[in-house]
Amino acid sequence: MITPETPHILIVDDHREIRDSLGAFLRRHGRRVTTAESVAVAREAMKVNRFDLIVLDIMMPGEDGLSFCKSLIPSQSPPVILISARGEDVDRIVGLEIGADDYLPKPFNPRELLARIDAVIRRAVQPPRGSVTGSMKKAQFGDWSFSPTQFRLQREAEAHLLLSSTEARLLQVLVQRPGIAFSRDQLLDLSSVHGLDISERAIDTQISRLRRKLGDDPKNPRFIQTIWGGGYVFAEAVTWSDEN
């Protein structure tokens, strides 16, 4: 039975057959669906609807899916699953870099996409494993503060930086366990992104992006240090305080 609480999925793809067939499949499995043939139409739909997830094609005429995904504000927008006919590693890595939550190459089994949709939505509404319990907390280290719930990094009086959901989950795992070394596989598991179609190389890319945002020297990082044998450790002392 479809209710207002039923997950509402926005499908953005310029191929009508894909929009129609995928929309029909998801509706048969109890999801609400809105379709858009372009990014422009998707933006208009988002003005009048609240979506729980966006299924977004990368290659489209006009503004493409990567540009659209990059423009979304993580703390104010639904999670995104990118789909692409090319299926190249560079698409997957770039998509995750700019904030996508998962990636699926075409052609794909609609049942697999449905499983990924449900998994991403669950992660979006549940705190990551090992998250701070009780009242909302923010981490403070060096001259930085980090809000896991708002995906924000801020240094003293400077403007805050927004992190992607993947960046925020990875940083949260690290700052909650300063001084503890993690392998890439452990980071994938503890940050609740282990089920995504991503690789250890993508974890390295996310860590590089976090280092740049923290102003960490990649050759001699202060905060996120590389450990011998493959992995990372947060090397700075961390304190936690209530969100203001």
pLDDT in tens, 163-182: 887 788 889 889 988 888 88
Average pLDDT of span 46-52: 90
Please say whether the beta carbons of 33 and 7 come within 8 A: no
pLDDT of residue 127: 45
Residue 18 counted as domain residue? yes
Q: What angle do CA 118, 18, 99 make, to 5 degrees?
A: 50
Residues whose CB is less than 8 angstroms from the CB of residue 189 and which lie 6 or more positions away in sequence, other chains included: none
Number of domains in the chain: 2
Same domain, 156 and 220: yes
Over the stretch 94-139, which tens digit does the pLDDT of each residue have? 777 777 888 888 888 999 999 888 888 876 654 444 444 434 578 9
Residue 2 counted as domain residue? no
pTM score, whole prediction: 0.58
Q: Report DSSP letters for 180-226, one per residue.
A: -EE-HHHHHHHTT-TTSS--HHHHHHHHHHHHHHHT--TTS-SSEEE
Same domain, 101 and 143: no
Same domain, 205 and 229: yes
Candidate from 20-24, 175-179, 182-186 with smallest mean pLDDT: 182-186
Last residue of a domain, one of 100, 125, 150: 125
Same domain, 115 and 181: no
Same domain, 196 and 231: yes
pLDDT of residue 84: 85
Kindly report the CATH number assigned to the domain that includes residue 221.
1.10.10.10
What does the alpha-carbon distance between residue 12 and residue 42 come to, in Å, rounded to a whole number?
Answer: 7
pLDDT of residue 5: 67
Range of the domain at 176: 137-242
Handedness of CA 93, 81, 149, 71 (dihedral sign): positive
CA 76 to chain centre: 12
Strand order of the β-sheet with 32-36 is 32-36, 8-12, 53-57, 80-84, 102-105
Same domain, 32 and 121: yes
- H or E element, residue 26: helix 16-28
Kindly report the CATH number assigned to the domain that includes residue 75.
3.40.50.2300
225 or 201, higher pLDDT: 225
